[in-house]
Structure 1
Amino acid sequence: MISLGPETPPTALDTAPNGLLDTRDLLEAEAPPDPAPPREPTFPHLQLLHTWSATTAEHIMVQTVEELTRSIQIKCLLGSGGFASVFKGVYQASEVAVKLALAPKNTDRERFCREAVLAQQLRHPHVVATYLARGAVMTEELIDQLQQMHQPPLPPLAAAGEAAGEAAGEAAAASAAGSAAPRHHPHYPPGAVSLLPNFPSAVSEDNMGNPRVARPQDQEAVVGWVPALHKVGLLPDQIVMVMVQELCDSDSLAAALRRGVFQPLDGRTSRLIARRMLVRTAAEVCRGMLHLHNSNVMHGDLKPANVLLCRSRKDRRGFVAKVADFGLSKLLHDDTSHVMSEHVGTVAYSSPEAIQGRHSKACDVWSFGILLWELVAQERPFARLRPTQIMLGVGFNGLKPEWPRQDWPELCAIGERCLASNLAARPSFAQLEEELVRLEEALREESRHVSAELAAAAASKSSQ
């Protein structure tokens, strides 16, 4: 929400007391849009292919509950999808996301472990990091061991009653004291508090937060292994995959769209700034996808729900975007440009050729084009159609969303190229990233001209 920059009115953000910056119509004062990361792949695909062949399902699968759960604590549920559930957790004394995925015993283990293997090899600022992956066939014996090792003891009835009474008394006292009133931050002007990103440190008096990862008030949110696996529906002889990942604590791009993050807001976010925020976020998605494609990995299910947002004070958005969820990812070998598979990602974001079973990097570009359309249109693609209608329309009858060219022709032109029927006509993510950066540069120049005109008008008025 805040950005740093030199004092250059009227186009810069002015420094205020205690380091808080006033919010003028610039994402960053005189800083240009983020430059692209190095074009060379940070993890060359040949090395990734070598790792894939060396790291098989047998290297990930463990035999005991102690190996499966070692150093991992599971707290509250963050979200659930068709294949897995994600929990907030603690790993080696640090907050993380813990992803639990299930598969039947007769599942192809190599395919089921693909996400875990690939995700651990992908390292990029705009790709969600995976620190650890473990899997196990959960026999009845292992499930019994899990319950014995991790089932939390039930509190005595008397103690539970006393705790409930104390909690009720504290809640009543807090209510009487007006705890619902907005929090006051002593180090910031009252009107600026809502502009700050919601960092955990912001709720403490010294802005340092709590020294412990698991704060006392969060203890009640601890779920534990047994309830978590019950939540995901574990049955005997199923395979469970545990992935410890970077915690992205600002939700997903899909949730940000529902909240209207990229909409202008009177007195706080102008049309130009809202557009810069949108374009910068899209460029960050391109950077993450560029790394995947340079590593010869196809994502297979790119959509706003699979782009996670991590808190950041880098600019006034308050977040950076990271590509996540490689459950449908596919690896291309050196001599192949596509693979055949019946596994299709979310149908509204799937390309015609993917629906027909032919997958290539160009499919991800199509998915990004649909994502870009959703950012511009601020609505779900094909929202009025059933999945079967979308599949038939896109896959076999040339169905595409209609772009609002009159509202934003420059961005719509980029998006339309992503949805080209000819795969060779679709741009690469390197090209898309460069075009989006240039588009944001143009928006910044336009913002400067507007600010200069407003300043000149104000100066003329004051001199009269």
Structure 2
Amino acid sequence: MEWKDKLTILLHIIFDLQTIHSQNFIHRDLHSGNILQNSQTDANIADLGLLKSVDTPEYNGVYGVLPYIAPEVLIGKPYTAASDIYSFGIIMWEISSGKPSYYDRKHDGILAKEIYDGLRPTFAKEIPLIYVQLANQCMSANASERPSASDLQEYIDSWAKKAFYIKIFKDADININKHESESSNNCINTMFSYKSIARLIGSEHTNLKDSSENQFCILDNLM
């Protein structure tokens, strides 16, 4: 998939997220398995079951797909709009790579602790620097440093429309080595419900109860 199509998908996703945030709601479970792709470039956020008003930030455990959970949430802080932005940053990495995040790692307490300590997905060298910088800002450990959904929409829209940025991404299309990944078409999301966050972070060998299922995933169409 060319970058212009990837940017269009991101624009659809961030438009939906900005709409959610503008109504003073938080999604709290944003991940690639919750993105429905209606066509090659038409994608929408789905599964609003955990949607919650920003006015009710009480903590009642951590629920979601581990790689997308913001580090502050992992230590018991409430979900915020910035937590959704962290999840969007992970999705930006996935769309750039065509792979599920941490596809080669077990989603357990060890990974959770490493994420809290600063582990983030690494971008390929062919990915445009402006894209990497924005995605990394979304995944900042400091929630206050993450951009808003409306800012993200503005940035990505300019990449898709302004000639200067269009050339950057066209050049990236030329430079990217196209190769098959053993996991590129194997998107399995594992949902966890954590009531004891101390047990999750504190134990390196926690055997977490989980439920896994193959879900429709936008990553299936990115390569």
* TM-score, L = length of structure 2: 0.69
Deviation, structure 1 residue 341: 2.6
* Structure 1: unaligned runs, 5 residues or longer: 1-261, 263-273, 312-316, 451-464
Instruction: Say whether residues 1:341 and 2:69 are aligned partners.
Output: no
Q: Could you tell me whether the CA contact under 8 Å between 1:369 and 1:416 is conserved in 2?
A: yes
CA distance change for structure 1 residues 445 and 362 in 2, over 3 Å: closer, same or farther?
Answer: closer
Deviation, structure 1 residue 403: 2.1
Counterpart amino acid of residue 95 in structure 2? L
1:391 equivalent among 109, 112, 115: 112
Q: Could you tell me whether the CA contact under 8 Å between 1:339 and 1:360 is conserved in 2?
A: no
Deviation, structure 1 residue 366: 0.3
1:142-291 correspondence to structure 2 within 5 Å: 262=1, 274-291=2-19
* TM-score, L = length of structure 1: 0.34
Give the distance between the partners of 1:285 and 1:445, measured in 2 at CA: 20
CA distance change for structure 1 residues 431 and 342 in 2, over 3 Å: closer, same or farther?
Answer: same
Instruction: Say whether residues 1:356 and 2:90 are aligned partners.
Output: no
Counterpart amino acid of residue 132 in structure 2? C
Give the distance between the partners of 2:166 and 2:82, measured in 1 at CA: 32
Give the distance between the partners of 1:327 and 1:429, measured in 2 at CA: 20
Q: Could you tell me whether the CA contact under 8 Å between 2:8 and 2:42 is conserved in 1?
A: no
Equivalent residue number for residue 132 of structure 2: 412
Structure with the greater relative contact order (CA < 8 A, sep ≥ 6): 1 or 2?
2
Instruction: Say whether residues 1:308 and 2:36 are aligned partners.
Output: yes
Deviation, structure 1 residue 325: 0.4
Deviation, structure 1 residue 406: 4.0
Give the distance between the partners of 1:329 and 1:346, measured in 2 at CA: 15
Equivalent residue number for residue 123 of structure 2: 403
1:320 equivalent among 16, 19, 42: 42
Counterpart amino acid of residue 328 in structure 1? L
Q: Secondary structure at the match of 2:38?
A: strand
Q: Secondary structure at the match of 1:344?
A: strand
1:373 equivalent among 89, 93, 114: 93
CA distance change for structure 1 residues 355 and 276 in 2, over 3 Å: closer, same or farther?
Answer: same
Give the distance between the partners of 2:127 and 2:43, measured in 1 at CA: 25
Equivalent residue number for residue 446 of structure 1: 167
Equivalent residue number for residue 174 of structure 1: none
How many residues are treated as equivalent by the alignment?
A: 167
Deviation, structure 1 residue 415: 0.4
Q: Could you tell me whether the CA contact under 8 Å between 2:72 and 2:141 is conserved in 1?
A: no
Equivalent residue number for residue 128 of structure 1: none
Counterpart amino acid of residue 291 in structure 1? T
Q: Could you tell me whether the CA contact under 8 Å between 1:332 and 1:339 is conserved in 2?
A: no
Counterpart amino acid of residue 54 in structure 2? L
Q: Could you tell me whether the CA contact under 8 Å between 1:404 and 1:412 is conserved in 2?
A: no
Give the distance between the partners of 2:43 and 2:100, measured in 1 at CA: 19
Q: Secondary structure at the match of 1:345?
A: strand
Cα deviations by residue, 1:345-384 (Å, 9 ceiling, x for unpaired): 1001111012223211111000000000001122111112
Equivalent residue number for residue 26 of structure 2: 298
CA distance change for structure 1 residues 289 and 434 in 2, over 3 Å: closer, same or farther?
Answer: same
1:41-120 correspondence to structure 2 within 5 Å: none
Q: Secondary structure at the match of 1:340?
A: coil
| Superposition RMSD in Å | 2.2
Deviation, structure 1 residue 405: 4.4
Cα deviations by residue, 1:80-99 (Å, 9 ceiling, x for unpaired): xxxxxxxxxxxxxxxxxxxx
Identity %: 22
